[in-house]
Amino acid sequence: MNNEFIQKIDKVSVGNVYKNEPLSLHTTWKIGGPADALVEPTSMEELNVLMDFILKNNIPWRVIGRGSNLLVSDEGIEGVVIKLNENISPLSIEGEEVKVGGGYPLIKLATIISKQGLSGLEFAGGIPGSVGGAVFMNAGAHGSDISKILKKALILFSDGTMKWLSNEEMQFSYRTSYLQKVKGICVEAIFQLKKGNREEIVKEMQQYKDYRRRSQPWNYPCCGSVFRNPLPNYAGQLIEKAGLKGYQVGGAQVSTMHANFIVNTGNAKAEDVLNLIQHIKKTIAEKYQVEMETEVEIVGKKSN
């Protein structure tokens, strides 16, 4: 990106600006090269000013939340990376309706909601990442997902426009939404929940959290599930059956705890993860004639 624009960003009221920022500091995998500029708007007004600046200057851009479910290339990302934090839009609860910003941590939201005696978000108690990322992916677990509770979402489209989309307009299906087709980002969401028994809701959510702690390798940097389940099969079971648990490329390893997780053992590069993903895909295709699709989003500059 032209340095002139980076200098100009400093003079615009758009929030916190970090130049040549390593994205390994902003992804749960702890992997990723630098962004030319990473900007954290602190309000919707600052986000609007930033988008106006980006579009007028024709700067490449993308949005990240908490950086889970994201593999950033070792070469980094060109242009501006907009990081949505939880303070961009305040959390508000009115009756059974919850309005929240796209950068809000999903686990924190689920915990707060459960203590209010509102039911519908229990499944999200152990899902890392942000509200916006969860809407983008239609994140789910334990037989439920975002599509069951989303009323509408405020979407930032690639041309810089923003529009509220209803649940139907989001075209949800398994780990997929309309946003993946049109490159849209959820900056605010409204969820429709139900009043329930507070003690039962808190207990159920704690059980889901405990299950995740027991069954998934959160003691290492990882991104969550790497592959979509090729139903009726389960990705983790296929990978384990193929004898790939513990298989390692560079610093990237198929978790010995859950085979649909790739962990960073300390010095993994994006290239290691990509090579490991390709090896898994090839092995499963050869052994079981099943095509594996990644759930994780792979972004950034390609190496020459």
For the annotated catalytic residues, the residue numbers are 175, 225, 295
Is omega for the bond preceding 232 within 30 degrees of 0, making it cis? yes
* Beta pairing class for 97-101 and 92-94: antiparallel
Q: Which residue carries 């024709």 as its tokens?
A: 58
Residue 130, strand partner residues: 105
Phi, psi of 35, deg, nearest 5: -95, 140
The secondary structure of 39-68 as a DSSP string is EE-SSHHHHHHHHHHHHHTT--EEEESS-T
User: Which among 103, 81, 69 has a CA at the least distance from the CA of 23?
Assistant: 81
**Distance set, CA 145 to CA 30, 138, 196, 287 (Å):** 26, 6, 18, 31
Cα 52 from chain centre: 25
- Give the integer Cα–Cα distance in Å for 240 and 22: 33
User: DSSP character for 224?
Assistant: S
CB atoms under 10 Å from CB of 19, counted, come to 15
What is the C-alpha R_g of the chain? 19
Give the list of residues 6+ apart from residue 48 with CB closer than 8 angstroms, or none: none
* Beta pairing class for 70-72 and 297-299: parallel
